[in-house]
Amino acid sequence: MAEHQYTDFSESTGFAYCDEAFGSHTLTDNISEKNRMKLRAIRMLISYQRDGDFEFRTPSVERIFHGEIGKTTELYLSYVRNILRLSDETIRNKEQYLYEFHTFLNGHALLLEDLNVDIVENFFASMGYSLASRHNSGSTLRIFLRYAFDNGLTNKDCSIFVLADNYKKHCKLPTTYEESEISNMIASVERSSAIGKRDYLILLLAAEYGWRTKDIVGFRFTQIDWDNNVIRFNQSKTDIPVEFPLLSTIGNAIIDYLKHGRPKTDAEEIIVAADTVKKGQPLSPPTVHSIVSKYMSKANIKNWKAKKHGAHSLRHSLATNMLKKNVSMPVISTVMGHQSTETTKIYLAVDVKKLRQCSLPMPELHSSYFSWEA
């Protein structure tokens, strides 16, 4: 700034410095660890000046929508954000898929009006999506293109060019951990500090109740019935009402955190941030993921980095470990808050011992086309 005679810092100044010093103001693969930390520092300064808060992590992609397609996309994202009021996570996912589609079309000098089945399929082929990502991208594009047509932004309904796929929601086995691994993770928490008391409560809610991240960060005082030792609320994902007994471990962890760990705040949520900038504010879902990852590392859980390692993996582990203890499917389904036991049946595939009990003996075969040696 001194070299350029700048007296006031701004976002454009910070980005210009990063572009000149590091080659980019977003996180790239070839940036050194030293420059990575410098980039992080500049971006934290920018975000604090702009929002009064620090961005959660340095982004690797800066999504800027250009041209007519970009304008249409921005209108749609504004609609889902301000009218539909979808969650930040859902909007981020939509933005990612729409940005990739927008980049593909602009790169081939195409407009939405030019779309046909071949162009859409070429887009999917160019991305190399997994089955799940292909399914999610297709769903996002279909809704977006339908919105564009319904609002007069395109002359034809291009959503018909996004073909259906054969993806099955539960085609993958859920990531699970053994009870001993989860116990070691919870035991690794240093509970003498305020942050430790908070993290301990978060891990218990995920491991002993199987709560989703949004239910953990949205946990409120009004949901606890202390007189009857019950916790009641409607799940954030399904809006299904659930009821949990207030376990002594959970109740004691809540009391300990409220007395000795929770900052003074008017927030209705029980669990709040402890750092200086966000102190007393409700946690964001990514923070919970980072907390779970932190203690998996601290507990030296084998291969945790190569597996799913957020709060949802503890939810999966609870269901699987209950199944191993012969808890019935309806009970597990109730604890998980599933709308149907069909959803819960995915955990049957993880219990190898019970699957072996279902195996049938191989009948003897008498055929010239088959030999045991082969």
The band of 323, judged by pLDDT with boundaries at 50, 70 and 90, is confident
Phi, psi of 273 (to 5 degrees): -75, 150
Residues forming a β-bridge with 1:
none
Task: Work out whether the CA dihedral 113, 118, 120, 125 comes out positive or negative.
Answer: negative
Q: Which of 258, 268, 223, 227 is nearest to 244 (CA)?
A: 223
- The 8-class DSSP code of residue 288 comes to H
**Residue bearing the bigger pLDDT, 313 or 158:** 158
pLDDT value of position 363: 67
pLDDT tens column, 290-320: 999 999 999 998 888 888 778 888 888 888 8
Q: Does residue 371 have a pLDDT over 90?
A: no
- Are 27 and 60 in contact by the 8 Å Cβ rule? The answer is yes
Does the pTM surpass 0.75? The reply is no
Three-state SS string over 228-277 comes to CCEEEEECCCCCCEEEEECCHHHHHHHHHHHHHCCCCCCCCECCECCCCC
Q: Name the least confident of 249-253, 280-284, 357-361.
A: 357-361
pLDDT value of position 364: 67
Alpha-carbon distance of 158 to 113, in angstroms, equals 8
Query: Which whole-number Å values give the CA distances from 311 to 7, 47, 183, 317, in the listed order?
Result: 45, 27, 14, 10
Query: What is the four-CA torsion angle of 180, 183, 189, 191, rounded to 10 degrees?
Result: -150
- Are 71 and 79 in contact by the 8 Å Cβ rule? The answer is no
Give the residue extent of every domain in the chain.
1-62, 68-161, 179-356
Query: What is the four-CA torsion angle of 236, 90, 313, 203, rounded to 10 degrees?
Result: -60
pLDDT tens column, 345-365: 555 555 555 556 556 666 666
Alpha-carbon distance of 125 to 106, in angstroms, equals 17
pLDDT value of position 30: 86
Question: Regarding the domain delimited by 68-161, which CATH topology (the fold level of the hierarchy) does it fall under?
Answer: DNA polymerase; domain 1 (1.10.150)
Highest mean pLDDT among 247-256, 309-318, 328-337: 247-256
- The 8-class DSSP code of residue 161 comes to G
Superfamily of domain 179-356: Intergrase catalytic core (1.10.443.10)
- The 8-class DSSP code of residue 339 comes to S
Rg over alpha carbons for the chain, rounded to the nearest Å, is 25
* Mean pLDDT for the stretch of residues 65-80: 92
Q: Does residue 127 have a pLDDT over 70?
A: yes
Tell me if 68-161 shares its fold with 179-356.
no
List, as one string, the DSSP characters of 116-150: -HHHHHHHHHHHT--HHHHHHHHHHHHHHHHHHHH
- The 8-class DSSP code of residue 26 comes to S
pLDDT tens column, 4-63: 999 999 999 999 999 999 988 988 888 899 999 999 999 999 988 887 878 878 888 778
Helices within the chain (DSSP H only): 11-22, 33-51, 67-82, 88-107, 117-127, 131-150, 179-187, 194-208, 213-217, 248-260, 285-298, 311-324, 329-336, 341-344, 352-357
3-state secondary structure of 285: helix
